């Protein structure tokens, strides 16, 4: 997939670069957060790989929203209910409490209005799952602190002039936003590239240094 197509897909970092890729190591971690049969909306669902996985593993009643038409068309061809839409503007069309879980996987950092989208997610869903590349990860800090260069890591593989990421944050930043928005963190995990999950305990500073990705299950207080 080209850089341009990548941008259209609205996915960055661990974006699917190939139609054959149908599994990401974080899928089982996300699946564990979702009850069987749940009504799930996946925002930025790409070609529907996660929805497909969750339907198989959790028998969810899944819907998707995706910015790129290629992703939408591929999803619908697979029999998934997916609409073309922009998370920044189109979530407003969904009614309150329409879903049990709303997922924003690896797309938080490409949104124009991440805070508003989070609010919308917890308006239309009882729970929200958000995953994002952690800008506090030590390799990121290393690039900036010692090399004086914009970070390039497996989660942030695109150079600064081409990246779609506009709202990067660290795990601590995100937790502060949740506090500010009065959201309960039901679960907070860090993930490495192989999908190994670690609970973010009291030592959130340590998780912020060592976690490549953050995954959060959120509820309104």
Residues contributing to the site for another protein (CB under 8 A): 63, 69, 72-73, 75-85, 90, 93-95, 98
The minimum distance between CB 221 and another protein, in angstroms, equals: 25
b/e burial code for range 143-178 (CB count within 10 A of at least 16 → b): beeeeeeebbbebbebeeeebbbeebbbbbbbbeeb
**CB-nearer residue toward another protein: 77 or 196:** 77
**CB-nearer residue toward another protein: 16 or 63:** 63
The minimum distance between CB 118 and another protein, in angstroms, equals: 19
Integer Cα distance of 59 and 28 in angstroms: 14
**Locus of tokens 């997939």:** 1
Integer Cα distance of 119 and 128 in angstroms: 10
Integer Cα distance of 25 and 32 in angstroms: 13
Decide if 171 contacts 211 (C-beta within 8 A): yes
**CB-nearer residue toward another protein: 91 or 217:** 91
The minimum distance between CB 97 and another protein, in angstroms, equals: 9
The minimum distance between CB 56 and another protein, in angstroms, equals: 13
**CB-nearer residue toward another protein: 59 or 196:** 59
Phi, psi of 106 (to 5 degrees): 65, 25
The minimum distance between CB 78 and another protein, in angstroms, equals: 6
**CB-nearer residue toward another protein: 84 or 204:** 84
């Amino acid at each position: 997939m080209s850089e341009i197509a990548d941008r259209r897909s609205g996915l960055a970092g661990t974006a699917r670069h190939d139609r054959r890729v149908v599994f990401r190591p974080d899928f089982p971690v996300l699946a564990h957060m979702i009850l069987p049969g749940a009504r799930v909306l996946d925002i930025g669902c790409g070609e529907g790989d996660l929805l497909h996985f969750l339907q198989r593993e959790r028998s969810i009643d899944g819907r998707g929203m995706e910015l790129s038409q290629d992703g939408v068309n591929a999803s619908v061809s697979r029999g998934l209910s997916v609409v073309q839409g922009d998370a920044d503007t189109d979530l407003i069309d969904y009614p309150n409490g329409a879903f049990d879980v709303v997922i924003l996987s690896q797309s938080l950092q490409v949104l124009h209005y991440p805070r508003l989208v989070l609010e919308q997610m917890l308006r239309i869903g009882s729970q929200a799952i958000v995953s994002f590349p952690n800008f506090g990860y030590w390799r990121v800090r290393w690039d900036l602190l010692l090399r004086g260069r914009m970070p390039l890591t497996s989660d942030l593989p695109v150079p600064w002039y081409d990246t779609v990421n506009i709202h990067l944050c660290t795990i601590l930043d995100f937790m502060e936003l949740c506090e500010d928005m009065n959201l309960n963190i039901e679960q907070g995990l860090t993930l490495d590239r192989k999908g190994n999950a670690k609970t973010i305990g009291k030592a959130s500073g340590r998780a912020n240094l060592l976690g490549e990705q953050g995954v959060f299950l959120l509820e309104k207080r």
